[in-house]
Each structure stands twice: as structure tokens, then as C-alpha cells.
Structure 1
Amino acid sequence: MPERLAETLVDLWTPLIILWITLPTCVYMAPMNQAHTLTTGSPLELSRQSEELRILNRSKRGWVWNQMFVLEEFSGPEPILVGRLHTDLDPGSKKIKYILSGDGAGTIFQINDITGDIHAIKRLDREEKAEYTLTAQAVDWETNKPLEPPSEFIIKVQDINDNAPEFLNGPYHATVPEMSILGTSVTNVTATDADDPVYGNSAKLVYSILEGQPYFSIEPETAIIKTALPNMDREAKEEYLVVIQAKDMGGHSGGLSGTTTLTVTLTDVNDNPPKFAQSLYHFSVPEDVVLGTAIGRVKANDQDIGENAQSSYDIIDGDGTALFEITSDAQAQDGVIRLRKPLDFETKKSYTLKVEAANIHIDPRFSGRGPFKDTATVKIVVEDADEPPVFSSPTYLLEVHENAALNSVIGQVTARDPDITSSPIRFSIDRHTDLERQFNINADDGKITLATPLDRELSVWHNITIIATEIRNHSQISRVPVAIKVLDVNDNAPEFAAEYEAFLCENGKPGQVIQTVSAMDKDDPKNGHYFLYSLLPEMVNNPNFTIKKNEDNSLSILAKHNGFNRQKQEVYLLPIVISDSGNPPLSSTSTLTIRVCGCSNDGVVQSCNVEAYVLPIGLSMGALIAILACIILLLVIVVLFVTLRRHKNEPLIIKDDEDVRENIIRYDDEGGGEEDTEAFDIATLQNPDGINGFLPRWGVPTERWEERNAIQTGCV
């Protein structure tokens, strides 16, 4: 109990002692022409100052004062005396009343209207309001008339250290590259203190690290945090927690403090090379693997992260550099070995590669540590696979003459099983490529024979596919294209290139070219076509026409004389023999028809018909056409007339059977017995043609017929 009582007394008297020590002299002695004072201090001081003021002579009335101070957070059994208002007009007769107005007057500050003592009646907080502006006035006690004009003064709240520093932005996070040198700046933090920064040391802060040493240090005044150890390694420890303290009162004992945390993360730098997980890798691959297939993967681990861990892979040595390649997988950070060229177990059964992994992004600060790369050996074993047969050639080209005999051999294909345990091969033709079955193949030796005759003029090329199948494993097959070219033989005689018809003018001249003809041959000789033209032996001495071979391999027919007459002979037939240059040569005879025509003086053909000479004199071709047109027109008119007349004479056809029956019902006659039966034929009703053309029979009274006609016409 005595210890607790002593602590309580210390807590109560410490603010008062501090105020007593730090409070300056509150009485400011004005010049001699001022006579009023405002004093502050203890009651004893106030009494002494009042006595001193009384004995002073003043030449002019007025207020003499300084600022008043009151200690914040002061709480005691009695209101705290802030100061005293006093005027030299007050002789002590208690005829003067002091009035206080302004900030907090009557609520926070209270004045004794007789003595002028000002007391703080509430606990003050400087952080809420640091000063108060009030107005003092002295008035006559009885009349309340101002003795002097009012005057303002300030009461300042004296700060005490009642606020601890605070880190408003904490907790903090910062990063610093790993391997940084000693003293590298990390970040800085800031604490705030609500106490008065200009009065005492209540707001003077000093920073220190409570936790996080020996890795980091802090500047006491600026709060700049730096690295305290060089070359901190992220791979060893990535994150650090630092506890920072800010203490006021300049860090001295008795000050208040606040703390915050700072999380420091070391960022990665490329300070580690890649390292293969193993120095030797083994892979096996079938020899028939498809090109581009991944054979295996190798991986070099890197303790760095992000782009600092990225590595590229290469094959730098080995006996399989031409057959294999390695690519980098950016996602998995490994190297993928792929096949570039086909493998052959029978040729080589294993390969050795030396692969390298190297960092892509090199940090020059650490390049002196050595090469940021690593190597490993890769062994690849080729496994035997059942491979399909292999043809001796990827394609075959065969030639055969079109007159080749059936079943003759036109060529041969060969294939072998590349496996060690070689299997016999059987050959066949893919009939989808030989729908007409023009060729056959020997299943054992691959000889291709002719099955049907060939005709080069119908098809020059035949493309078939040969299939080779292993006897031991029918699933192992291979295909090869075979192109067969049909060679030409001279088996077609030449003939006219077109159906020619020549016209000869009656008034033509001897030696005039009547027609030029050319020949064609379906064959295709190597040196091109060359034709020989001639007349039949019996036509060699033809008195009317002769032939002439032209340089362009064509033939001209010429007239030997003039004076041809259509009335004597209208048409001439000229047989021409055409021979080719083949071995053996072939020939054919083509006949040229030559018509004799009437021509104009300039040789334009006008008419080639001989009937023009037997027509009546004076009738031209135009007149004949006009007469023919008239005849056709008359025939059309006659046909139309006959057709219209026939339609006009057609009888009315009764199509409604009910009308006929109605006429029969209306027939109202007693009947004539047998005479009536003979006189009226019921078949007439069934034959509409007999209605209008009905004739009465002999022996029937005339009135009967008239009546019946009336009934039939509907008049009764």
C-alpha cells in the first residue's frame, strides 16, 4: 500500500511540477502608460504581484497581460487556477465586477467576478482544442457600465505526453533483391504523434527494430530501413518479419511507444545455374515411330523462379544429331527429344546424344560464378519392329507397244522385307486402279503381263498400283505406283482431215486451184507425219484434173482446162491415194467430190444445180421461190376452209341423259301398237345424230310425226 500511494502522488504532482518548471513568467510589465495587469501563477504569486501593482503609479489606465496557460488532462478535486484578471481601477472596494466571454466562457472557464480569478472547471485535451480566445471586461458593480473597453486574451492548453506514436499505414510490405549489398535501402516507415511537436519532446520520435535483426537496420530519426547483412539468399529464406518501434520523448525513459510490422520479401535474381536431375538418361524407341514423335524428356532444375529459371535445350554432340532434335517446353521447363528422320533397326541399333541446358536470361552481376548451363548424356536404343515390305523403287515406269501380244511381260517390280526375320512377299494389283483388268502380275516374282490388247489411240497412259504383302503377316503391306506408257505402232492409215467438197466454176481457167486438202493419221510417229498423195493408176492420165503436193504436207487439186459445163456433167469424183511414212507404210483412198457451178466474173459461186437449165425460159430462181410460196399459201387457206366448214355442220350432241328421259316421260300418246313401234325407233335417242336427221317411215300418219316432232323439240 505505501508503494501504491507513492505512485499515485507522483502521478498527481508530476504535471503540476512540470507546469511550474516550464511555465514562463506570466506577468508582462507594460510601459509606464499602462495600468492594468493580467497575472497567472500560484495564489501566493498572484497576491504578491497584486501588491506590487498597487504601489505603481500609472499615467493611463489599460490592460497589461500575457498569454495564459493551462495544463491538459489535469484532473483534481478542485478547479485549476488558470490566472487572474486585475485592473488598477480596482481599489479593493469591491465596486468592480469582472466579466469573461468567448470560447468556453462559463462552460470550461469560470471567472470570479470579484477577484478576477479564472479557473478551468473541465478536463482539457490539447489534441481536441489547443487554445481558447476569450474577452475580458471590467464593469461597475452597481451600474454594469464598462469601466474600460473589452480586450481579448488567449488561454493555451499546455501539452503533456498523453499520446503514443501510431503507424497509420501499417502493417507494411516491401521487397528487396536477394544478394543485395550491405546497406541496400528497403523502405521507410512513418509514425505520427498527436502531441505538440513544438513544445517539449512529446512528439519527438525515435525509431528502432525490436525484431528482424541482424538482417535489417533502421535509421533512428528517418525510419529508413536497410539491409544489415550482405548477400541474403532467397533460396535459403525468402521472407522476413521485422517489428519496428517508434518512441516519443526522444526515446528517453518514460516516453510512449507504438509498433508496426514490416514483411520483407527477397525477390529472385538469376544467381543459380540449371542442373540436370541425372547425368545419364535412357530411352527406347521403335524403329517405325512416326516422324516428329516425342522420344523422351529431360529436365534441368533451377532454384531460381520465373524467367530466371527459364532454360533452353540443345543437342551439342553425339552420333544422332542428324536424326534427333530437342525443343524447350516453356510450361514444363524441360527439353523434349523428337525424331527428325526415319530409324532403321537393321542399320543402327542405338544412338548417344549430349544435351545442354542453359539459362536464357543471364544476370551479369553473377556471370563470374561460372557458366549458367549444364550437360547430360542421352542413350537412345532403337527397337526392332515388323516393317512393311520395301519396293526397290518408289515408282516404276514401264513401256509397251500397242501391238504387244497377250500375256507378254511388260515389266517387273521387286520388294523385300527389311526385318531380320525376312518374310516372303506376294504381289497383287489394286483393281481399283485397273478396272478393265488390262494387266496381270505374277504373285511370286512381280512380273507384269498384258491381259487385254492395248490401243494407244484410245489411251496412251495406264496408271496402276502394285501391292506387296508379307506372307507371314498380312497386315504388313506396301503400295507402289506403276505408270505404263503405250508406245505407238503404225496401225492406222491416213485419211482426209475433213469431209471436203470442191466447187468448180464453169468459167474457170486452166491451172486454177479448185481445192486444197490435208490428211490426218491417228498414229503418232516419232519424227512427225509425212504424207504421200497420188491418183489411182487408172486416173493418172485424168484429162480434167491434176494434183500438186504442197510444202506444208497438204495437197492442191487443179483444173487442167476450162469450159466445164453443168449440162454435160454436174459432178466429178476424184479418188486420191494417201500414204504415210510408217514402217510398214499404210495408205487409204479418199474420194473428193467436185461440183460444177455457175460463177460470177470474179469467181463467186452462184448456182450449182443443173435443173436451172431445163426450167422455162424467163423464170429465174427468185420467180420459182415466189410461185412456191403462193402454192403453199393456197394450200393453207383450203385447209382452214375445210376445217371451219366441218365444225359448222357438226350436229348438236345431247350430253345430258336426264333431258332425254324427260322427253320420253312427256310423251303422251295412247300408242299405236305395232305401228308405233315401227314408226319410232328408241335407238334414235341413243344416237344423237339421228335426232335432226330422222325421217318418218311409210304408213305412219303425218299428224303422228308432227306430234312426235313437237314432243322431241319440247313444244308440247
Structure 2
Amino acid sequence: MASVLLSRRTFTMILMVLLLLNLKEVLLEDQVENNLKVKSLSRVKRGWVWNQFFVLEEYTEQKPLYIGKLHSDMDIGDGSTRYTLSGEGAGNTFTLDDSTGDIHAIKRLDREVKAQYVLRAQALNRETGRPLEPESEFIVKIQDINDNEPKFLDGPYRATIPEMSPVGTFVIQVTAVDADDPSYGSSARLAYSIIEGQPYFSVDAKTGEVHVSLPDMDREVREQYQLVIQAKDMEGQLGGLAGTATVNITLSDINDNPPKFTQQLYKMSVLESSPVGSVVGQIQAKDRDVGINAEMKYSIIGGDGQDFFDISTDVSNLYAIITVKKKLDFETKHSYTLKVEGSNTHFDSRFKTKDPLSDVTTVHVSVEDVDEAPEFDSQFYYVEVPEDAEIGTVFKTVSARDPDTANNTIRYSIERKSDPEKCFYMDVSNGSLMTALPLDREKASWHNLTVLAMEMNNPSKIGSVFVAIRVLDVNDNPPSLMQYYGTFVCENAKAGQLIQTVTAVDPDEPTGGQHFHYSLAPEAANNPNFTLRDNQDNSAWLLTRRGGWSVQTQSVYYLPILVSDGDQPAQSSTSTLTVRVCSCDSDGEVLSCDAEAYTMPANLSQAALIAILACAFVLIVMIILTLSLRSQSKKPYFTKEEEHLHENIVRYDDEGGGEEDTEAFDIYALWSPRVEPLTNYHKLRQDMLPEDKSLSRHVPQHCVTEVGEDSSNIHSYVEAKLYKADSDTCAPPYDSLQTYAYEGEGSIAGSLSSLQSQTSHTDHEYDYLNEWGPRFLKLAEMYGVSNNHSPMW
């Protein structure tokens, strides 16, 4: 604290000296200007006596800090001069006494925030406000003090160097910054030093570079180091401010340690039945290094097992894996010895070690005996058998043995899945294969058998081998035409015209390929109509021998064609070719032909095909229209409302006027067909069948009463109609409840009107509805009476 106060006093004295020097310079300059004014009236006299002010930063006292004083030569000291201050910080940072010109700082100043302020001052007449002199500019500079400690902006630092690095090896450079003014004093002059981390590392006091100071630092002993570096201003002197940073240093690995096997002798065992490539065991040579410096490669450098075992490195490049290289046999050799070397794969020439980077160990492998399955003398058998071989022919003998010392007896068999049709048989004792069924190459040209060999004393030990049997071809199938040929000849065909090209097929496969011979059968050798030409390329042409063909004369010709092969023994067959005579146009297109068992050729003209399809379409349309008209003519003349009345109970509660209400019910619908109104009615109902002229032959005599044209009593007629309706088995079974009640003379129901009833409050009997209702229903439907005109439902 004392040093800080001493520094401030020193700065104050320096400031006073500078102000005196500045005042002297101003006075001299003013004297020069006065002399120049005498010589020249254009020179303006300068009245200010200052140039710049200095003030220390971080002033902490409560009262304002005095900066300096403004004064003009025009100020005679009577108070008529007023001073003004403007510019940066005027009014809020700096204040001015307008009478005396004293300037004070009213805020704490920080040079690191703002190093200087530019202000403007002017002297005015207090009464008139007129300037006494022009406005002048001056600067207030903030002088620095040591109030900021050094800072490491990039810390904490990390660095990596190889282990065993020599002394003086550069590690990293650290840099600190100080916000104080580097051009004034020693406030920003830094010195670096190590607080923690010695004696392994050192730091340059001026540059901040870190170097190795201790040799032979071993990563395997210690891998991480932490340094604390200090930066102090005032060049590290007492009273300076300091800042620290941490540096984490890691030693990277180098290959400076040799691998070492944990054992000098490893013992392993393996079954003699282990397949090639199976793992026997693994060993490892450990290395204190890490990463690629610890990666290993292993090799067998000696021993009697080099030909039977192999060694490789796992995916991590750390372990050695020993595998079977060759089939083992306990009966041949019981154990093997391997000499294995493990060495590093990566070397750094910059670092040399005294010890070799490898190690050697011994591996002893014991072969264990197992009861092995029988083994065949070959891994695969191939046999050829002619398809005409007789049943029981021995075509192959296989042999197997027990590889064990016991040498047990072997029994042979065929796996049933490989011979589902049981075409072959095997002798169980000597392994002879023979045919059990006739062979047919055309059905199966190959047979793949699996032959099994089993020990008598241990049936679970079974060996197997694959036997491929090829059935050799024998010429035992005759050739035949490739398809059933049916062709045609035009009536206008001439002699020598090609009618058909024929080819043949043969399921046999002769060694030199197929060679077919074509000819007409002996019975058709002298055919006057057609001839067959053999093209000597397994095909033949059918040609005409004459012209003048006619459908009326003969429409169909049958030609027997003989086909034979060229193998031994020769095989042949006869096929019949059908030739029809057709009428053709000038281009050879068929116009008409005998339809019997003949399909029109595929080259039918497009115009003829379109005409046929058009005729078929017109015929279908006519049939549809005809059916539609017939269905409409048979449909009853019901309105849409009437068509929906079926399966519904419709009730009409209006009471008509009896038989006098002719608008409610059409009485003519119940008259005899001989009556004129009924006849006219039938003319309108053309969809109904004509009435019978007489009902006497359909109705019993006691039910028939002759009805005249003018008779009002139609009871008998209704009875007859009801009888006929009840007897009609073709009447539609409608479910609608339609009751027709006739009120006339002699009606047993009487009047249904409540107005004519003597006792309107008495319930009437309506049993007659149950008796007559269904009958009237059928009768009304029979004559097409609309239920909308019925007097009652």
C-alpha cells in the first residue's frame, strides 16, 4: 500500500512539472504571436494558456478530482467572463466552474475503458453572451496505474510429448496478457515462472516456452504431469500483480518394452477328430507398451508340429490362436511340440532399445483318441450304367474301414432318402452296388445315392459317401412327329406346291446326335396326290403332286408318314397327317373349308374377322331387345304405387255410399264378359288372357246361376268366379289383405254405414270378411281391378 501511495505522489509531481513546462511553452508562443501581430494585423491573438491535462486513473476519494484551470487574457477578474465546456464527458464526467475556469473529475476514471477525452472550451461575455475568443480544443489524458493482473486467455493448456524425450525438448508455449499500458512504466511487463511441476519441466521467463528439464521420463512409470505457470507484471518484482495457468502434459508411448510370454511352456490337447481349422488354444505375449506398440505377430519357428498346426493373431493383434492345419490321427502320432515366437510389429527408429522386441515359448499339443466313424477309400464315386442293364447287375463296389485300432467290422447300406424308388440294392457285407429295377434314362438320367458304412460294435458311428450314377442312353424309343399335324390344301393349288413342313422328336440321345429319315408309309408310297421330300436336316416337306383340287370331289386326305432314326438298333414309327381341301382367295387365304374337325388357320384376314364380330354383336343386341319387349308386354298395368302394395296391409277408413257410390268402386269389373263395359275393359287390358265363355264346366251346378245382361244380382257369378280363383294353382301368392265387400240386394252383411244403423253403438259381425275377403282378392286380381277403386279393405 505504501508503494502505491508513493507512486501516486511521484505521478503528481511529474504532472506539476509538465504543467509548468507547458505553461512556459504557451507563454513563449503567446509572446511570439504578439510580436507577429505588430508586424501583421491579420494574426489573431491567442488567449488560452493550456494545451492538455493529465489525470491519474482510479481516483478513489469522495471529493472531485481537480484537473486544471481555464483562463483567458480577456478575463480581467471582475466576473464578467463566463467559461463553457463541451465535448466528451462534459457535464457528466467533468465539471467546470464558469467563473474561475476550474475543471474537476466527478467520476472514477479507468484508462483501460477510455485513455483520453477530447474537450472544447470557450470564454463568453456573461452579460451579452458574446464570445470573447474563438472556441479551442484540448485533451485530458488518463495516466495508467498498475491495476490489472496478467491473464492467460487460452488456458488451461494441454500438451503431449513422447516418453524418453531428451532435456530441452519443446513442450508448449503459454502467453499471458496485461490490460495496463505497455508504453508507460513496467505495469505490463511480464515474467513467467513455474509454481508446480518441477523438476520435470521448465519455462522461459520472457517467452513462456515450456521445455523438458528431466531426462528419461518413462510413460510406464508415470504418464500424466500437471504444471502451474505464473505470469507476473512489473517484471516479476515485488508488488507486481500475477496470474496463473494450468498445463496438463501427457507422455505418449514409444515401443521401448519387449513382449514377454507369461509361461515358458504351454500344454494343450485336441481330439483327433477335430476338423481342419478348428481352434486348439490361444497364448499371449504381454507388452507394457500400448496401442500399435503393443501389437504382436506370432509365428511357429520350430518343433515337429509345423505341418499339422497353424498360428494366427486375433483381431486385436494381441493373442495367438493355434488351429489344426492338417487332419490328425491318434494312431499315427500322439503329441506334437511347437516353438512359438511373439514379436512387435511396429518399431520407431528414433528410439533404440537394448533388448530385442520379441520373445519365444514352447507349446506342447496332445492328440486324444476318439471312436471314429468308418472312412471310405474315396471321398466321391462316379459310375456309368447303361439303361438296358439287367436286374441284379453289379456295377460298383465301395470299400470302407474303421480308422481306430480296433478295426471293427463294417456293414453297408443305401440311405433311403437318396433312392426313394428303390432302384438299387447294396450287399451289406462287401459294399457291392447292383440294380434292383429296370433303368430308364428318359425318366431319370442321373441317380445320386448316399452310401452308409456302420460299425458293427458301435452303430452310432456311421460314415457316408456320395455316389453319382449316370444312366447311359440306349436307342429304345422310336421317333415321332413333333405334333399332330392337320393342314389344308387350296382348291387352286398347283403341282409341286409346299403344303406342310414336318419335324420329329426322339427322347433318346445318340452320341452323334439325331438323324431322322422321313418317307410315306408303304401303303401310301405311290400316292397320286402328295409326295414327301426328306430335307436331310431332320425335317421333310409335304408337296402336292397335282392340281385341280375340289371340295365336292374329296374334302379330306389322310397320309401315313414313316419316321425312323439312324441309331442301332433302328427305331421307327408311323403318324397320320390330315389334309383338308379348302376354298382360298388368290393370296392363299382360306375363305371356306370343311368344318368337320377343322380349326380355321391363324392367318384369317382382318376384314373377315371384323365382319364376323360385327354380325355377332348385332345378333346379341337383337336378342336383348326381343327379351326386353317380351318382359314389358307381360308386365301388368299397375302404377308405381300399386307395385309397392304387396306384403303391406293398407287400410282405407272412408265409408262410401254403397252401391250408389259408383266413383268408389267400378261395378263393371264384376260383370260377365258378355256385358259391353266388361268387353271394353278387356280391350284396354291387352295383357290378360281371354275369358272363358262358360263357367258351367268348371263350377258345380248348384253354384251356377244364369246371369242376364241387365240383371242386378251377380251373386251367382261371383260364386263362380271365386270357385275358379280358388281352383287356380297358378295364381300368385300375394300377402296383401284386400277385402271386397259388396252391399246389394240380399246382402247378408246389411248396410255398413253407421248412418243407416239402428244401433250405431252396437258392434257388427264381420265374419263374412274372413270368408269372402281372400276370394274377392283373387277375383279382383284375376280381372285386374285396381285396389285403389275397392270400396273397402
Range of TM-score over shorter length: 0.5 to 0.7
Alignment of 1:230-241 (within 5 A): 230-241=215-226
Structure 2 residue aligned with 1:548 = none
What secondary structure, in the 3-state scheme, does the structure 1 residue paired with 2:12 have?
helix
Deviation for aligned residue 1:386: 1.5
CA distance in 2, matches of 1:59, 1:171: 63
Give the match for residue 110 of structure 1.
95
Change (3 A) 1:138 1:34: farther
Could you tell me which of 390, 405, 415 is aligned with 1:420?
405
Match of 1:385 among 358, 362, 370: 370
Contact 1:292 1:338 in 2 (8 A): yes
> 5+ unaligned residues in a row in structure 1: which ranges?
1-6, 38-57, 500-521, 529-591, 606-619, 630-635, 637-658, 672-716
Instruction: Select the residue among 186, 194, 203 that pairs with 2:188.
Output: 203
1:119-130 aligned within 5 A: 119-130=104-115
Task: Give the match for residue 72 of structure 1.
Answer: 57
**Alignment-derived partner of residue 206 in structure 2:** 221
Q: Does the CA contact (< 8 Å) of 1:36 and 1:88 recur in 2?
A: no
State the Cα distance separating 1:385 from its structure 2 match: 1.4
Residue of structure 2 aligned with 1:361, choices 346, 354, 360: 346
1:437-516 equivalence runs, <5 A: 440-446=425-431, 464-481=449-466
| Deviation for aligned residue 1:140 | 4.0
How far apart, in 1, do the equivalents of 2:141 and 2:27 lie? 27
**Structure 1 match to 2:487:** none
1:296 pairs, out of 272, 281, 287, with 281
Moved more, 61-70 or 240-249: 61-70
Report the equivalent of 2:618.
Answer: none
Aligned to 2:12: 19
Aligned to 1:581: none
What SS class does the counterpart of residue 263 from structure 1 fall into? strand
Amino acid at match of 1:188: Q
Query: What CA deviation, in whole Å up to 9, does each residue of 1:82-117 have, x standing for no partner?
Result: 223334445555554444333333433334444433
The residue that corresponds to 1:271 in the other structure is: 256
Separation in structure 1 between the aligned mates of residue 12 and residue 253 of structure 2, nearest angstrom: 57
SS in 2 for 1:26: helix
Q: CA deviation at 1:292?
A: 2.0
- The offset of 1:471, in angstroms, is 2.0
Q: CA deviation at 1:379?
A: 1.9
2:715 paired residue number: none
In the alignment, structure 1 residue 30 sits paired with structure 2 residue 60: no
Deviation at 1:389, TM superposition (A): 0.7
CA contact (8 A) 2:26 2:50 kept: no
Deviation (angstroms), 1:245: 0.9
| 1:173 paired residue number | 158
Conserved 8 A contact 2:48-2:70: no
Give the residue type in structure 1 aligned to 2:25. A
For residues 619-657 of structure 1, what are the alpha-carbon distances to aligned partners after superposition, in whole Å with 9 as ceiling and x for unaligned?
Answer: x9969974668xxxxxx9xxxxxxxxxxxxxxxxxxxxx
Q: Tell me which amino acid in the other structure corresponds to 1:17.
A: T
Shift, 1:135, TM fit: 2.2
Q: Say if 1:35 and 1:88, in contact at 8 Å, map to a contact too.
A: no
RMSD across aligned positions (CA): 4.8
The 8 Å contact of residues 355 and 377 in structure 1, kept in 2 or not, is answered as yes
| Partner SS for 2:338 | strand
Seen in structure 2, the aligned counterparts of structure 1 residues 604 and 357 have a Cα distance that, compared at 3 Å, is closer
Distance in 2 separating the partners of 1:212 and 1:432: 82
Shift of 1:208: 1.2
What's the CA shift for 1:472? 2.4
Kept in 1: contact 2:148–2:241 (CA 8 A):
yes
Contact 2:186 2:234 in 1 (8 A): yes
What's the secondary structure of 2:235's corresponding residue? helix
Please list the CA deviations of residues 577-597 of structure 1 after superposition, one character each: whole Å capped at 9, or x if unmatched.
xxxxxxxxxxxxxxx958895
Structure 2 contact 191–232 (Cα < 8 Å) conserved: yes
> What is the CA-CA distance between 1:217 and the residue it aligns to?
1.6
Query: Aligned AA for 2:149?
Result: A
Tell me the amino acid that sits aligned with residue 109 of structure 2. Answer: L
Inter-partner Cα distance in structure 2 for 1:109 and 1:498? 129
| Letter in structure 2 aligned against 1:303 | R
Q: Which moved more, 1:471-480 or 1:351-360?
A: 351-360
Query: Per the alignment, in what secondary structure is the counterpart of residue 162 of structure 1?
Result: coil
For 2:137, the equivalent position in structure 1 comes to: 152
Aligned with 1:337 (options 290, 301, 322): 322
**CA distance, structure 2, for counterparts of residue 31 and residue 358 of structure 1:** 89
Distance 2:177 2:408 in 1: 94
- CA distance, structure 2, for counterparts of residue 77 and residue 435 of structure 1: 118
State how far apart, in whole Å, the 1-side matches of 2:422 and 2:146 are. Answer: 116
Aligned counterpart in structure 2 of residue 245 of structure 1, from 212, 230, 248: 230
CA distance in 2, matches of 1:176, 1:146: 74
Alpha-carbon spacing, 1:24–1:303, altered in 2? closer, same or farther (3 Å)? farther
Contact 2:398–2:432 (Cα < 8 Å) also in 1 = yes
User: 1:79, 1:121 within 8 Å by CA — same for their partners in 2?
Assistant: yes
Change (3 A) 1:161 1:446: same
**Corresponding residue number in structure 2 for 1:283:** 268
Secondary structure of the 1:364 match is coil
Distance 1:669 1:80 in 2: 150
Cα drift, residue 442 of structure 1: 4.2
| Letter aligned with residue 30 of structure 1 | E
Q: Which residue of 1 aligns with 2:657?
A: none
Contact 1:288 1:343 survives alignment (8 Å): yes
Q: Is the 8 A contact 2:412 2:426 kept in 1?
A: yes
Kept after mapping to 2: 8 A contact 1:71/1:159? yes
Deviation at 1:326, TM superposition (A): 2.2
Q: Which of residues 300, 310, 313 in structure 1 aligns to 2:298?
A: 313
- Cα distance in 2, alignment partners of residues 135 and 670 from structure 1: 150
Shift of 1:62: 3.0
Rounded to whole Å, the distance in 1 between the matches of 2:86 and 2:440 is 136
Q: Distance in 1 between matches of 2:380 and 2:115?
A: 107
In structure 2, the CA distance between the partners of 1:146 and 1:402, relative to structure 1 (3 Å rule), is: closer
How many matched pairs?
A: 514
8 Å CA contact 2:297, 2:317 repeated in 1: no
**CA–CA distance in structure 2, aligned partners of residues 150 and 479 of structure 1:** 121
Give 1:319 shift.
Answer: 2.3
Distance 1:312 1:663 in 2: 126
How far apart are 1:339 and its partner, in Å? 2.0
User: CA 1:131/1:412 → structure 2, altered by over 3 Å: closer, same or farther?
Assistant: closer
Equivalent pair of 1:277/1:301 in contact (CA under 8 Å) = yes
Partner letter of residue 401 of structure 2? Answer: R
TM-aligned CA distance change 1:329 to 1:409, over 3 Å: closer
- Identical aligned residues as a percent: 48
Deviates more, 1:337-346 or 1:315-324: 315-324
Q: How has the CA–CA distance of structure 1 residues 379 and 59 changed in structure 2, closer, same or farther, with 3 Å as cutoff?
A: same
CA distance in 2, matches of 1:596, 1:99: 148
**8 Å Cα contact 1:423-1:470 kept in structure 2:** yes
Contact map agreement 1:36 1:62 (CA 8 A) in 2: no
Q: For 1:496 and 1:151, how far apart are their aligned partners in 2?
A: 135
Q: 2: distance between equivalents of 1:401 and 1:339?
A: 44
Contact 1:34 1:60 in 2 (8 A): no
Could you tell me which residue of structure 1 aligns to residue 177 of structure 2?
A: 192
Instruction: Give the corresponding residue for 2:39.
Output: none
Q: Contact 1:73–1:123 at 8 Å: present in 2 too?
A: yes
Which whole-Å CA distance do the structure 2 matches of 1:118 and 1:497 have between them? 135
